Amino acid sequence: MNWRGHSWLALAARLYLGWVFVYACLHKIAYPGMFALDIATYDILPLWVINLAAVTLPWVELFAGAMLIVGFRVRGASLAVAGMMVMFMVAIVIALDKGLGMACGCFASQTTEEDPISFLTVLRDSGWLFLAVYVAIFDRNAIGIDRLQKKRRNPHG
């Protein structure tokens, strides 16, 4: 639990996850209407929730991703990322179970041919979920702002 190597492994995981989430949110922030259509295509959420989710979710992705990159409130950010991953995976599994041949909508509004959902998508998301949970559990002294703040509070620690 206290092995120093965790911080470095977690740093690699954080930079990768952070980049994925920041990259994933850019198109959604620029075109909320298209993201709302992507959400609606999953046919899971009630109509009144769709636009609210389309407007808010990308910003959670952006800030959680950025916080992982700069190392600020890392465990909280990684839990937020893990929560989103669980949510996305449930949605994809439900869509697959319904037999919907549709695009993932994970990164941008792509066509079904370009980015179809499949169990490989679930596998990929499981990998990201694993990384987020690893960071949440083992990155106790995150390299970045968290560590600088700790040092400032306890300069002799």
3/32 Cα distance (integer angstroms): 43
Instruction: Using CB under 8 A, pick the residue from 4, 5, 47, 153 that binds another protein.
Output: 47
Ranges within 70-129 binding another protein (CB under 8 A): 73, 75-80, 83, 98-102, 112
Those residues with Cβ within 8 angstroms of residue 116's Cβ, 6 or more apart along the chain or in another chain: 101, 102, 103, 104
Segment lying near another protein (by CB under 8 A), choices 6-14, 16-24, 28-36, 122-130: 28-36
| Residue 111: CB minimum distance to another protein, A | 11
At position 89, the amino acid (one-letter code) is M
Helix or strand holding residue 136 (H, E): helix 119-138
Judged by CB under 8 A, does residue 48 bind another protein? yes
End-to-end CA distance of the chain: 18
Place of tokens 């996850």: 17
- Is residue 63 close enough to count as binding another protein by CB under 8 A? yes
Residues that bind another protein (CB under 8 A): 1-2, 29-33, 36-37, 40-41, 43, 47-48, 50-52, 54-60, 62-64, 67, 73, 75-80, 83, 98-102, 112, 136-137, 140
